[in-house]
Structure 1
């Protein structure tokens, strides 16, 4: 897997980082989630994990030709906007040594892979069935 660095939001040390891949996916390097209340809200399939990243990290999507504005939807793979102003991103846990060797990932961080199509969908205005789901009262 070939990686293209899109950006990070710190000049010092390792921090959440965004990469584009040659597989029409993104690798999102972020903080491991240890908060039980947050973990209980997630439904993770086998082989998946979630990471927490600052919302500003997504501004680097513009370097891959995507709108770098705010997400218009909060649904898979972007699972939550936390009270602290961070996103929780869920995806396939990256364990392949080849891409991991191209990154510097400290013990308190992990890497998830998400499809470019899923990210693009989150940047689009909701329509059709999405708007109907929003209009229905929560139970």
Structure 2
């Protein structure tokens, strides 16, 4: 799997970070939780989601963080590029389409 860095609050120097994959999905890198299929990401990471898209399945923890569930990234090529520290993981999630209520339909 190939991954492209979209960004993160610390730039390209560290995590958390948001990536786009060649599977037409996002890979969200953040803190490990008790669930190996779930990552904790800060609200600020959403600034790197591409316009017109969204991350679905977020649960707000109420303290500036979201929990996000997905498929754990296990691909060696992707993990080498991401350089994830031991206290973190990355999960792959579908790219959702942003829907604005009462907005005109897009062509």
Q: TM-score range by the shorter chain?
A: 0.7 to 0.9
CA-to-partner distance for each residue in 1:85-126, whole Å, 9 max, x for gaps?
11111000111111101112111100100011xx32xx3247
Structure 1: which 5+ residue stretches go unaligned? 40-47, 127-139
Cα distance between partner residues in 2 of 1:104 and 1:5: 12
- Runs of 4+ in structure 1 over 2 Å off: 11-14, 65-68, 123-126
Residue 110 of structure 1 aligns with which residue?
89
Number of aligned residue pairs: 102
Structure whose residues are more often strand by fraction:
2
User: Are 1:27 and 2:24 matched, yes or no?
Assistant: no
Q: Distance in 2 between matches of 1:103 and 1:15?
A: 9
Matched, 1:66 2:52: yes
Superposed CA offset, 1:51-107 (max 9, x none)? 011111011113xx4357xx8xxxx532x1012111111000111111101112111
TM-score by length of 1: 0.63
Q: 1:98 aligns to what SS in structure 2?
A: helix
**Which TM-score applies when normalising by structure 2?**
0.80
Please identify which structure carries the higher helix content. 1
Q: Which residue in the other structure is 1:96 paired with?
A: 75
RMSD between superposed Cα atoms in Å: 2.5
